[in-house]
Amino acid sequence: MMMMIFGPDDDSLMMMILIVMMMIFEEKEMMMRYCNKEIMIGDIFVASWGYGQTNIDAFQVIEKKGKASLIIRAIDNEPVLRPDEDVTTRYQSTAGRCVPVKDKFSDWTVMFDDQENGQMVRVDPGDGDGPFIRVGRGKYFARRWDGKTPFHESW
């Protein structure tokens, strides 16, 4: 004998559960579409990673693919000097601040193999901090850069 969770008069309850499940699915689909719509070609994403050191990798969107994917390429960072620093003293230090340089594409990145053609990544809607992408074969998160805030790196 099969046990029923709901009684024979609970068709409306089953219908309500089905409607709620459909609403959740549609909301998630809308979020994925929204993420790709708000990202523009030229936007920069930044990943901070490393153990015992902090590495900063920056990526620029060069193309949009479908509803939730992007083609990205790695770009270089440049140091942000303090008033008491010059380029010589900056590179004698093992830490400092840097910012990504738009359109200065890097020849090499540890995050993916084909730097010349870029790497396709999927956009995740995020959890309130805005969309992010996964880089480095899915190991690291990169968030969209605000265009102002420098990043701390150490090696």
Per-residue pLDDT, 113: 67
Query: pLDDT tens across 50-91, in order?
Result: 777 788 889 999 999 887 888 999 999 888 877 766 666 555
Per-residue pLDDT, 104: 93
Map out the domains of the chain as residue ranges.
38-154
Bigger pLDDT: 80 vs 145: 145
Per-residue pLDDT, 1: 45
Amino acid present at 89: T
Bigger pLDDT: 4 vs 65: 65
Nearest Cα to 36, choosing from 60, 66, 68, 62?
68
Query: pLDDT tens across 7-59, in order?
Result: 555 677 777 788 877 777 666 655 555 566 788 999 999 988 877 778 888 99
Nearest Cα to 100, choosing from 92, 91, 109?
109
Q: How far apart are CA 67 and CA 54, in angstroms?
A: 33
Q: How far apart are CA 124 and CA 31, in angstroms?
A: 9
Task: Output the pTM of the full model.
Answer: 0.70
Q: How far apart are CA 92 and CA 106, in angstroms?
A: 23
Q: How far apart are CA 95 and CA 7, in angstroms?
A: 67
**Mean pLDDT, residues 116-145 taken together:** 81
Per-residue pLDDT, 149: 79
- Contact between 59 and 135 under an 8 Å Cβ cutoff? The reply is yes
